[in-house]
Structure 1
Amino acid sequence: MEQFGVLTLGSRLKRLSDYLFAQVQEVYVQCDIPISATYFPILKLLQTAGGLSVVEIAEQLHLSHPAVSKQTTKMIKAKLLEKKVDERDQRRSSLRISANGEDAMFRVEPILIELKILIEEAAAFSSRDFMESLAQLEAQTMDGRLADKVLDRLHCIHIESFKSSHQDDFYALNMAWLKAHFPTQITEYDHLVLLNPQTHVLEKGGNVWVATRRANKKGGKDRVLGAVVLMVNGNGSVAEIQKLSVVEHCRRKGIADALLSHVIDFAMSKGITTLTLETASNLNAAKSLYRKHGFVEKTPHKPSIYERTDIYMEKQLKDAL
């Protein structure tokens, strides 16, 4: 449709609307919330305004009276709304959100917060051409993964040791990070480690952990949201943290913090006395995270194998067992 420009604007907006409703509905189903995504505007309005008639709802939401009447009838049947007849005029009635409706809206609130964040990020472009902006928004949101992204941000993570089933996701999330920050500085060693951590990390005495969201459905696949590598040196007293990465849509959710804490606790339990890492001066969030965990910048003992890194940091584990 894009090739026909503004002539398909209505169809493209409806397609986007239908897609968003379907993705939100998928989240509701996964979270066992018993409402339809299409109910939200009416529920939110009544939650804010109190009792309103069908006509008043239609006027405030700029919808047709028959459409609102049909929707509210379903919502009354689902016990999300209550109908109250005016004692002074039996011909008049108002609709109010029920206790069930209030409970559903309370459970929906965290979902809406995460959805708002993701859509605002997808819509954060500077183009002044509306059709170009629409195309960018479609590309950012209509990838079939919006529901999964919301669920990723909603659910708790589990940190576990690397398994072969994590291989593809481990490679994909690290390569996505490298392409986003250092697209021209991806090395052969990056590919070797990411394609075969079993050989290049685990069999050399290192460790790989992944942060996952457990599958909601039986038989479903866990989603890898973050990962980190720890390489231990020959005598076991010093170890280097590598490949700490988190999927873009889950950043600022504490996943990198949890992974780094896990590595530090593991290192202490193994008697490692010094943790090292390399980062880049343009990665402000990473530098803040490392400093928060007690890493300090030092002069490197040897040149880095990576052109993209220009900061060397260490943390002394005084309480190592």
Structure 2
Amino acid sequence: MYLTSLRELAIGSRLKALSDYFYQAVDEVYRASGAGIESRWFPVMRFLRDVGPTTVTEVAVAIGQTHSAVSQLADRLVEAGMVVRQRDPGDGRRSVLALTDAGERALGALGPVWLALRRGMAESLGPRMLDLLDAIDGCEQALADKPLVASVLEQRASLAREAVQVVPWDAAYADHFRRLNQQWLERHFRVEDLDRTLFADPESLVIAPGGAIFFALYAGEVIGTCALLHEGAGVYELSKMGVDENFRGLGAGRKLLDAAIAAWRERKGVRLFLESNSRLGRALGMYERAGFVRQQAIRPGSHYERADVYMVFEGP
């Protein structure tokens, strides 16, 4: 499932989908059992039965929902005849929610259904049911101790002080070389056989012949990469430039490009070229600003099917 790959970034969406699934499943069970309530009514009705007449605010705090959400749900319950709003006997200035006789009767008949739900969930989910409940308990406590917004904003402030760093080849980052390049190739073109060969063994095919591979790191995360391929006789190709599209605006692409040009100069290279595609306007602009000049024709014997732009470095 796509959302699974997004991990923490999609936790709200995944929990929402899971919540909707449980609501729908329980509603279907209630309908099949002839119950007169809906699954979303359960927390409020059960709390009122267990505690007695209570204010909307107290219900909201107890079940972890907003005052507005509980108030709207209370309106529905009043319309359904399950709940009534009445003056608080102890404080006539405020109103409380109380179960009606119809609400009491509806809940009183649900014992067998709730037992079936408990056992059915245990059968369907197995030990994961207890794991899920324990995880929810733990998350609720952790979020009460350290609210999520505060934690995220602290991290964001810390990250704002970080700068992109470019580091040379490290075998520990080899999969990022493949990942970042494959990501943009699949988005804009397709992965060619030459790409796959290079991804399979970059150390032998790039580093060993005298080339270089660089990685852009942001707060320890690999967000970009590029390669300097040695063609022989002092001729080098700038290739495999890939930056995670979620980290635009940090200057990672230009820093990688500058590192590759510096490496070419250190190697006393006599010619540096690249092949690209006219659809990649942003990248072509960066290459031009760095000193690459577009040639009138594509490179003779071009490596790639996708290449329709040939550029040669002329300085500064």
TM-score calculated relative to the size of structure 2: 0.51
1:86-140: per-residue Cα shift (whole Å, max 9, x none)? xxxxxxxxxxxxxxxxxxxxxx5xx7xxxxxxxxxxxxxxxxxxxxxxxxxxxxx
8 A contact 2:164–2:251 mirrored in 1: no
Alignment pair present for 1:205 and 2:243: no
8 A contact 2:216–2:225 mirrored in 1: yes
SS in 1 for 2:232: coil
State the shift of 1:301 in Å: 4.1
Alignment match, 1:56: none
State the shift of 1:277 in Å: 0.2
Alignment pair present for 1:157 and 2:164: yes
SS in 1 for 2:307: coil
**Which whole-Å CA distance do the structure 2 matches of 1:24 and 1:181 have between them?**
38
**Which whole-Å CA distance do the structure 1 matches of 2:217 and 2:201 have between them?**
19
Amino acid at match of 1:232: H
State the shift of 1:269 in Å: 2.6
Amino acid at match of 2:166: I
Alignment match, 1:314: 312
**Which whole-Å CA distance do the structure 2 matches of 1:275 and 1:154 have between them?**
34
Amino acid at match of 1:161: P
State the shift of 1:282 in Å: 0.6
Alignment match, 1:173: 180
SS in 2 for 1:290: helix
Moved more, 283-292 or 167-176: 167-176
Matches within 5 A, 1:176-195: 176-182=183-189, 185-195=190-200
SS in 2 for 1:193: helix
Alignment match, 2:277: 280
Alignment match, 2:254: 257
**Which whole-Å CA distance do the structure 2 matches of 1:24 and 1:305 have between them?**
50
Amino acid at match of 1:206: G
Amino acid at match of 1:292: R
Alignment match, 1:304: 302
State the shift of 1:273 in Å: 2.7
Amino acid at match of 1:212: L
Alignment match, 1:119: none
State the shift of 1:266 in Å: 2.1
Amino acid at match of 2:215: V
8 A contact 2:206–2:230 mirrored in 1: no
1:9-46: per-residue Cα shift (whole Å, max 9, x none)? 9x9x999xx8xx73761451x47xxxxxxxxxxxxxxx
8 A contact 2:224–2:241 mirrored in 1: yes
**Change over 3 Å in CA distance of 1:188–1:26 after alignment to 2:** same
State the shift of 1:303 in Å: 3.0
Q: Which has the higher helix share?
A: 2
Amino acid at match of 1:208: I
Structure 2: which 5+ residue stretches go unaligned?
1-15, 25-39, 41-63, 70-135, 137-142
8 A contact 1:232–1:239 mirrored in 2: yes
SS in 1 for 2:208: helix
8 A contact 1:207–1:229 mirrored in 2: yes
State the shift of 1:316 in Å: 2.4
SS in 1 for 2:268: coil
Alignment match, 2:229: 231
Of 228, 236, 241, 2:238 maps to: 241
State the shift of 1:233 in Å: 2.4
1:24-70: per-residue Cα shift (whole Å, max 9, x none)? 61451x47xxxxxxxxxxxxxxxxxxxxxxxxxxxxxxxxxxxxxxx
SS in 2 for 1:233: strand
**Which whole-Å CA distance do the structure 1 matches of 2:240 and 2:185 have between them?**
10
**Which whole-Å CA distance do the structure 2 matches of 1:296 and 1:23 have between them?**
47
**Change over 3 Å in CA distance of 1:311–1:213 after alignment to 2:** same
Count residues with an aligned counterpart: 187
**Which whole-Å CA distance do the structure 1 matches of 2:153 and 2:194 have between them?**
39
8 A contact 2:236–2:272 mirrored in 1: yes
Alignment match, 2:17: 2
